[in-house]
Each structure stands twice: as C-alpha cells, then as structure tokens.
A and B are shown apart, each in its own frame.
Chain A
Amino acid sequence: MARANSQPMMTISDLEKKAYAIRQDIITALVAAKSGHSAGPLGMADIFTALYFRVLNVTPETRNDKNRDRVVLSNAHICPVLYATLAQRGFAKRDEFLKTLRKLGSPFQGHSNNHFDIGIETCGGPLGQGLSQAVGMALAARMDDAKWRTYCLMSDGELDEGQSWEAVMLAGKERLRNLTAIVDRNNIQIDGYTENIMPLEPLADKWRAFNWHVIEIDGHNIGQFIDAVGEAKAVYEKPTVILAHTIPGKGVSFMENRFEWHGKPPSPEEAKQAMLELRTLQGQITSEHQ
C-alpha cells in the first residue's frame, strides 16, 4: 500500500529531535492546564513520534479514510502525548493544544475521545478497555480482507484489569496478525511500583502463554521500535505485543522513574527547569540557551 505521506521520510535523528519537541509541548500544555499526567506522556514520546511520523499509514488528510491504520489509546490518561504528537503532525491545532488542554470546550479533553475529528479513533480512560476495542477493529479488517493494521497503546498498570486478559485471550484465539499491542512497561502506577502493587512478571511469558508473539525493546530507541513494528507485520498467525521498556518522565531528570509524577503537572518553576533540560537534551547541547 502506498504511503500517503504529506512529509518526507524523517531519519532516526530527526525523529529523536521531534520527540523532544513533543516533550516540550507536553510540559507547556500541562503547566497551562494546571492538572494532568506528566510521567507517562514523557515516557511514551519516542514511540508516539515514531508511530505518527514513520510507522502509521494515516495522515491528517487521510484521517477518515477507510483503509487508514487505527490507533487505540487505552491508557488515555497519557493523552497529552497523543495530542502533542497529533498537533506536531498537523492533525490538530498546536496553539490550541498548548493553551486549552483540559479546558471547557476544548477538543483536548482530560482523557482522549473521538468527538472532534482530529484523528482520534476512540474514547478511553477507564483502564483495560482499549485492547478490546482494538481486537474488534482487527476483526473487522479481517472480515473485510482489508490491509490496514490496528495498534493498541497500553500501560503496564492496566494489565491489572481482568478485561485486558480477556482481550488478550480472544486475540490469541483469533490469531489476529493485523493487531499490535504496545505496552508501556514503565514499572509505575498511581500507588507505586507495579511489582509492589500487583506483580506482572514474568510478563513476556504471560503474553506468550496466550499465543502472542512477544518483542521486548528499549522504548526510547526509535530504531528498535521501528524494527519491532516491522517484525510484527512479518509474523503470521499471531498478534504481536511490543513490551516497550520506558523511563517514566523521560527527559526531565527530576521526574524520571518517580511514580509521584504519574498524575500531576509541573509547577511553572519546575516547568522552567524541565524545559531547559528538554531544550538541551539533558545537557548534551551546551552551546545554546546558556
């Protein structure tokens, strides 16, 4: 299928820079919103960038096309990263996102929904529902003998939900090779570390036992992610899960790996520090902004 892309293909290095731009937009929007989740969106910025700027067969122009790839964001509390990516990619107005996240009348609701024609497929929020929706989409594509693929982004914490495993079971039974789940394995949830709240390990073995193809990657290595998506497309007879090991709060030193940042935004002062770190790629670039 021809890539209907309105932009030239970006290099891995371009994508990495774009991910940092998206992180800055997330911080800016969260500060203006005065509420929302910080850690998850920052942690998933690399994967969202790779998805929308490289992997997906969907563009702002083809966002309602029958044969577009579908994305289901199951852990919709990380929607700032979806919004920031869609805005950077031209699906939504960037300025509006930066100013109106979580505000009355904004398309950028506290949890993402499909009411505003900005390329968002479903409503999410209550955890554990997205993979079921994605399974339904993948089944529909198969019934139609269509080539488009479904990607479901999930958190590790939401694997506590029984419904997640109901969906995993059905996808395994139906051998949905057109379905790829991407789990943000960042090891945190609201009350603490996943392995303390409700241990998930051995997580890869669990998915394998349900007849899924499992790929583990460094979720901040865009090259690895693109390769994993390609591998998933090549696997016949099975759905694929990409267990993406990520650092929650990635890119902002005082947020990284701290579950306290799951559900709160930075203060204006904290944001200033965060933006400095993000602009300089955590000090790697020293010539500017000094």
Chain B
Amino acid sequence: MPAVPLNPKLFRKDVEQIPTRNGYGDGLVEIGKKDKRVVVLTGDLAESTRAHLFQKAFPDRFVECGVAEQNMMGVAAGLALAGKIPFVSSYAVFVPGRNWDQLRVSVCYTKANVKVAGAHAGISVGPDGATHQALEDIAITRVLPNLTVVVPCDYLETKKATIALAKMIGPAYFRFAREKTPVMTVEKTPFKIGKANVMRVGTDATIAACGPLVYEAMVAAEMLAKDGIDVEVLNCHTLKPFDEETLTKSVKKTGCCVTVEEHQIIGGLAGAVAETLGRREPAPIENIGMQNSFGESGETEELLTKYGMKSADIVKAVKRAHKRKVSKK
C-alpha cells in the first residue's frame, strides 16, 4: 500500500504547528453551517475546547450545561434521540472520565447519535499535572459496545474527523491535545473512519501510532533509515473499529511492531494492536506510552522525555523489536 500524501514541510523547522483542538472548533463551524441538526454542549469549557467558535456562530444550537458532566452526557442523549447531532465538549479527564456510566447506558446502549469530544488529552497538557492528564480515556471508551473511537493526529485530521463523525450515524468518542503540534497531513490526505493511513512505507518494522505522537514516529523512522532499518509508519487514527487488515498486512511484511500513544499502554492502542496480532499475525511488539503510572506537572517536552515518548525512545523500541524478530528467526 503506498503512503498517503503528506505535508512537504513535514520534516522542516517551519512546519505549521496548530493545536488539534482548533480542528475541532473549525470543523464544528463548518459542519454546523451545512447541517442544522448539529448542536454543541459544554460544561463550562467553551473556549479551551474551541466549542466557543460554534457558540458564536450558532448561539441557538449551543447548550451551556455548567460544571455538571453527568447531566451533560444524558442531555446529549436526549437531544440525539430527538433527532439532533450533539457534540459534548469537555476535557477528556471529565468526559468520559466523569460520566462513563452515562456514556455506557444513555448513549452507547441506547445507540444515541452522540459525539463526545475529549480535549486536553494526553500527558502533553503538562503543568496542570496528573489529575488533568487523560491517559485512560481510550481504554474506557474502546471497551464500550456501539462506540467509535478516534484519535486524530493533527489539526487537519481533527477537522476532517469532526465532520466525518457528524455524518456517521452512531455514538463516537474522539480526543484532542492542547499544545500546538505539527500539521503532518494536507487537505487531500484521505480520512476514513476505521481505515488506518500508511504514512511511510517500509519493510523492516511497523510503527503503529495515534495522535500527535505520529510525528515523533515519523521522525524516528527517518533516524532509523540512517541506521539501515526501513520502517513502515501507520497512523491508526481509529481505535475502534480497529483497522486490523492494514496492521496485519504491514506486520506480515515487517515481522515486528512498535505502538506509540499518549495513553496508558494497558487498554490503549497497545492493547488493540496486541489483541489483533495475537489473533492474526503473532510478532514481537514493543510499547511506547504511559507504563502504568500517573503523570505529573512539567513542560510538555520534559514530560514526553521523562515518560519515554520522544523519537529517540521510539528508535530504541524499534531496535528492540527488530532484534527480537531477528533472534527469533
């Protein structure tokens, strides 16, 4: 499978840096213009989730729920059951962290067409510390029947995901980061829910990544090329339904896999990859992500470095996986 078109400035210093959450706000306004059924809710976090852009454009279709996330999820379910397409906007630690039962029953079991947006996800939110660093949200959403789970990699992909999820019928969760991150994709890069994007074609190892850390994976792949290891990079933006075909095909070719995510490796992308490969293409796997611990306060780069999520860490992980593959043979 050939690689998807990417930003020609990807590896340059002047690559555009935009927070993924901005893609949410811009996407909401764009789909809001076209589809009057789209409504947006927030729990006292309009501006930082970028929901305020929709609020300004469509005040009659915006519901400020106050700091009451359990109710907000139920209200969204009711709106959806009455024909609306509600987007619930909050921080990922609260939504779905604080209203998981409401997501499970009022939304997923009911099959209510609710879109749940978790902003400020991952450790990169930084100085706010462990309480505000959502590192478990993928695990607790991925396990829910009927729920689609998406982790877009950059601003443009987030915008496309927002629009695509509005058009898709059924409950969905997607998450964004606060910090500015490189824009890797371009307008014509495909985004299809449930279909992973091959970002780089390679033959020696597969990196399955999601979210803004796909950038670190791409940088790691370039570094590894210099060491003679040709890496394939997959942007697994949809965690559920997981694109087993693309992953299996890639690992059949490369023989090993490294997962990369800003999330606990338990139950996250690492879980999805291990479940898939264990069943379909057993191979050595290494995991980049939170290793069963909480985060702490610090600057984004300090935290990503301390918790081993930078390109240098990915390089080491690929070499470990690659070595295990070779020694197995």
A→B interface (CB under 8 Å): 66, 70, 72, 113-115, 121-126, 128-141, 143-144, 150, 162-163, 166-167, 169-170, 173-174
Contacts and interface: CB of A to CB of B under 8 A. Distances in A.
B109 to A, nearest CB: 5
B75 A133 contact: yes
A138 B61 CA distance: 13
Chain B binding site: helix, strand, loop or mixed by DSSP?
Answer: helix
A125 B78 contact: no
A71 B80 CA distance: 15
A143 B39 contact: yes
B78 to A, nearest CB: 2
A122 B110 contact: yes
Nearest to B102: A129
B70 A66 contact: no
B106 interface: yes
Contact of B71 (A115, A122, A143, A166): A166
A122 B70 CA distance: 16
Interface residues of B, number: 30
B82 A136 contact: yes
Contacts of B92: none
Contacts of B140: none
B83 interface: yes
Contact of B73 (A70, A132, A174): A132
B263 to A, nearest CB: 26
Contacts of B60: 143
Contacts of B284: none
B229 interface: no
Given A137-B81, A166-B68, A169-B66, A113 B109 contact: yes
A137 B82 contact: yes
A141 B82 contact: yes
A115 B105 CA distance: 13
Nearest to B60: A143
Chain A binding site: helix, strand, loop or mixed by DSSP?
Answer: helix
Contacts of A115: 111
A135 B105 contact: no
B77 A140 contact: no
B151 interface: no
Contacts of B110: 113-114, 122-123
Given A132-B74, A162-B70, A170-B71, A137 B79 contact: yes
A138 B63 CA distance: 12
B70 A132 contact: yes
B81 A163 contact: no
Interface in B36-95: 39, 60-61, 63, 65-66, 68, 70-84, 86
A140 B65 CA distance: 14
A128 B70 CA distance: 9
B101 interface: yes
12 contacts: A122-B81, A123-B105, A123-B109, A133-B77, A135-B74, A137-B82, A140-B78, A140-B83, A162-B70, A163-B71, A163-B102, A173-B66
Q: Which 9 A-B pairs have the closest CB atoms?
A: A136-B78, A132-B74, A166-B71, A140-B82, A166-B68, A136-B75, A133-B78, A136-B79, A163-B70
Contacts of A139: 63, 75, 78-79
A132 B68 CA distance: 11
A213 B266 CA distance: 49
Contacts of A167: 71, 74-75
B79 A122 contact: no
Contacts of B80: 136
Nearest to B76: A136
A27 to B, nearest CB: 28
A166 B70 contact: yes
Contacts of A129: 74, 101-102, 105-106
Contacts of B102: 129, 132, 163
Contacts of A132: 70-75, 77-78, 102, 106
A124 to B, nearest CB: 7
Contacts of B74: 129-133, 135-136, 163, 167
Nearest to A74: B74
Nearest to A128: B70
B86 A136 contact: yes
B47 to A, nearest CB: 20
Contact of A122 (B61, B72, B83, B106): B106
Contacts of A66: 83
A260 B102 CA distance: 29
Of the listed residues A126, A132, A170, the one surrounded by the most CB atoms of chain B closer than 10 A to its CB is: A132
A136 B63 CA distance: 10
A131 to B, nearest CB: 8
Contact of B78 (A137, A144, A163, A166): A137
A73 to B, nearest CB: 12
